[in-house]
Structure 1
Amino acid sequence: MNKTASESLWKRWLDRLLVLDVFVVLAGALWFAAAVVASSQGLEAPLRQFQRLWEPLFTPAIGLLIAAALVNGISSWWQRRALQAGRDSET
């Protein structure tokens, strides 16, 4: 297996992980909204369960999502900068 094939496999699994992470964060947001509505109706169990899962599940998921967005943005910026430098050196 050559280097590009292993890198694409690694990137494919990383992309899958990040897509799963987005769904976890979205599900957490929906759960929170439903739990707040239920709490206003006197049903406290969903909000308590959400609070129990906040630190071990949702905080790392949100952190991973933000970190991935930052790395993606920096990578795109770096690639654009390298392309511009390549064009400037050709002229």
Structure 2
Amino acid sequence: MADAAPPLQRLKGAMDAILVADVFLVMAGAAWFGVAVLCHSQKIEAPLQLFQTLWEPLFTPAIGLLMAAALLSGLLGWWQRRGQKRAPGTGS
């Protein structure tokens, strides 16, 4: 019988899945916005109005989550590189 994954590994897997879905949501929102602007130029207002309605409750948090994940990833990468530089030395 295989051991269950450690809790932190399961959490990381779940966070990765959420971030992948978030990336696709942001990309779909960008494509939708592009189509809505094209429709607006043809005097079709419904797609842009719906996009504007969903901007604050859906797309703003999705973009914020994506930006926070990018910053956290960069910070963790910096922290790991910093730790690797200290490990071989005598602590300085």
Q: What TM-score, normalized to structure 1?
A: 0.92
C-alpha separation in 2, matches of 1:53 and 1:47? 10
Amino acid at match of 1:33: G
**1:87 CA displacement:** 1.8
TM-score, length-normalised on structure 2?
A: 0.91
What's 1:60 paired with? 61
Q: Is the partner of 1:87 in helix, strand or coil?
A: coil
- Cα distance between partner residues in 2 of 1:34 and 1:87: 54
Give the unaligned 5+ runs of structure 2.
none
Counterpart of 1:51 in structure 2: which amino acid?
A: Q
Structure 1: runs of 5 or more not aligned: none
**CA–CA distance in 1 between the matches of 2:79 and 2:62?**
26
Amino acid at match of 2:85: Q
Identity %: 52
Higher helix fraction (1 or 2) = 1
Aligned mates of 1:53, 1:82 — CA distance in 2: 43
Determine helix, strand or coil for the equivalent of 2:36.
helix
